[in-house]
Chain A
């Protein structure tokens, strides 16, 4: 491994270690043994083929969610709306999944996935277009769109698309047709492969295409990009639409590959985990995959950790917040590890809410 790669991953790695150490202290406050807890976490997430399948399933929407944040980061925008984009993607993919029957898998499944992706793209695109035309800050707009999406998907699942079979009273859609279910090969869900391919595609777009160059130029210096003739507003709107597409696909994979339907309140929190993953990956699409696998493993093993060591599964959320903190404030780790300061590592987004 080259020196530069080592340097790039040393901060995220140290952040994970520090997060786990502080997590261990929290476990001790609950009168449990950190060793037992972490061992159960590892076994529950990677102990056998069932555990690996669980981890891959958990990691799949996280990859999409992480990419949705990372891609927008490249254009200097903070997509905090992964949650809403994922929800609309999940509900529309499920809608197409159960609403149409009689199609073969090779047509039905891609159409259902696409429906989710497009719904997400529209949701992200709203924020991007508003940013480009009125200067409305994407952070506020995407947060608000999260709440709108929550209400909208809740209504769809509770009214027009409700599962009326048997005595169901839960707000959820019927199960999708078999022709829209994402298959699984052994312990590897096809959705996971799709996520990895998407991550590589994102990297290719950013590093090898004109569009990617324009996205990064806007992210590096908006005014310079404008001066160079790049249509900044258009790029910002498009970037948010792509980010939304990615999150929407994540929701679609969740509906079609894991749950088999959309159920209101099931996917809560996934969009926010995307932020942790994108920062852990330092906004690199290829880094998103291992970051999502790590978080997915923790989530897959959380149930076993609770069962074996009596530690509340919410510990995972605390550890994630700690990791996020250490990645965001690398100066602490650098001080502890006596590393050299590197200004390029700092992620900078902030500006006002209106025009900028």
Chain B
């Protein structure tokens, strides 16, 4: 990031904090509720965006995040319900995510199926499988993940409630943002990953096994989406329902593009999308404005279209050069 961009970023952050402070002074409980809702809605999007990002940085488009969320949520819910253990459920969700990541890799990298078709197969298969095996009478049996207060930090007004009194998977996601950032931009693995996404031929020449690394990355990334599924079933909602991912796997892709395929950028974008969702919920609770809920519901999707269109126009957001192409060893 260039110096003037950095200054702009800090100036923006300060303005944002001042605005939040003004709102908090005007109406404390409402502001707290909206911001807590923002963080809650951002977690799933951030996990999906990280999943997509690792794939795309290695040159593989993953449009199957929606399906990965859904099937992992189903696995997490079913296992948690059978074992009465949220922890085992979460592990099952991650496991299912890894399996689906591997399947995407097997199709898109191994069998050289068109990447977008491969992802679509995952989505349709997840919807069909979860509907087929869905057992209406099954319930979670144990309570969903509850908030954990981080000692005295949780007592800070506003910030305490919004950031330091969250359920465990939200903390885990925040930690993973840092882990993925460091891994992508400060490790050998990250450099190799970006190399095979930008110029697989050159990466191959210096001895990187392109196909193997793509296999590995897409599989691992699936684990992040799997955690997202577990979050959805065991922390956000506390049950499973048909098609419960509700398009958020696709929104995660927009979040990823908006955040320029960086973890922190994606989290900022996820918070923005989360904010529109939280605001929408709050409007509906309060009847603040006489806007039909359907129109507020369209908002994140219209914003996404604008973001994708603008990112093409501005051209400053560039795709990895080898994105979407299968690699044949020359």
Contacts and interface: CB of A to CB of B under 8 A. Distances in A.
Interface of A: 26, 78, 80, 130, 134-137, 139-141, 143-145, 147-148, 151-152, 154-155, 158-159, 272, 275-276, 279, 312, 314-322, 324-325, 328-329, 331-332, 346-356
B124 A276 contact: yes
B213 interface: no
B323 interface: yes
B308 A141 contact: yes
Given A130-B305, A140-B253, A320-B128, A354 B298 contact: no
Contact of A348 (B114, B120, B132): B114
Interface string B144-168: 0000000000000000000000000
Nearest to B122: A321
Contacts of B63: 139
Interface in B91-150: 107, 111-118, 120-121, 123-125, 127-129, 131-132, 134
Contacts of B257: 140, 353-354
Interface in B297-313: 297-298, 301-302, 304-305, 308-313
A312 B130 CA distance: 12
Contacts of A349: 114, 116-117
Contacts of A319: 128
11 contacts: A78-B117, A134-B310, A148-B301, A154-B294, A159-B292, A314-B134, A317-B132, A318-B128, A328-B121, A332-B111, A354-B308
A317 B315 contact: no
A321 B94 CA distance: 22
The secondary structure that dominates the A interface is helix
A350 B114 contact: yes
B265 interface: no
B132 A144 contact: no
B317 to A, nearest CB: 7
Contacts of A348: 114
A144 B302 contact: yes
A154 B295 CA distance: 10
Interface of B: 61, 63, 107, 111-118, 120-121, 123-125, 127-129, 131-132, 134, 247, 250, 253-254, 257, 292, 294-295, 297-298, 301-302, 304-305, 308-313, 315, 317-320, 323-325
A78 B323 CA distance: 16
A331 B111 contact: yes
A345 B230 CA distance: 38
A26 B132 CA distance: 10
Nearest to A154: B294
A140 B304 contact: yes
Given A134-B312, A135-B312, A155 B294 contact: yes
A78 B292 CA distance: 32
A134 B302 contact: no
A279 to B, nearest CB: 7
A136 B294 contact: no
Nearest to B250: A143
A317 B112 contact: no
A314 B132 contact: yes
B280 to A, nearest CB: 11
Contact of A347 (B117, B297, B304): B117
B319 A317 contact: no
Contacts of A312: 131-132
Contact of B115 (A152, A350, A356): A350
Given A272-B127, A328-B121, A355-B315, 6 more contacts: A136-B308, A139-B116, A144-B250, A321-B124, A349-B116, A350-B116
Contact of A329 (B107, B123, B313): B107
A325 B298 contact: no
Nearest to A322: B125
Contacts of B295: 151, 155
A321 B111 CA distance: 17
B107 A144 contact: no
B131 A317 contact: yes
A330 to B, nearest CB: 9
Closest 8 CB pairs of A and B: A352-B319, A317-B128, A350-B324, A135-B312, A321-B125, A314-B131, A155-B294, A134-B312
A151 B125 contact: no
Contacts of A145: 301, 305
A322 to B, nearest CB: 8
A322 B124 CA distance: 9
Contact of B125 (A325, A332, A356): A325
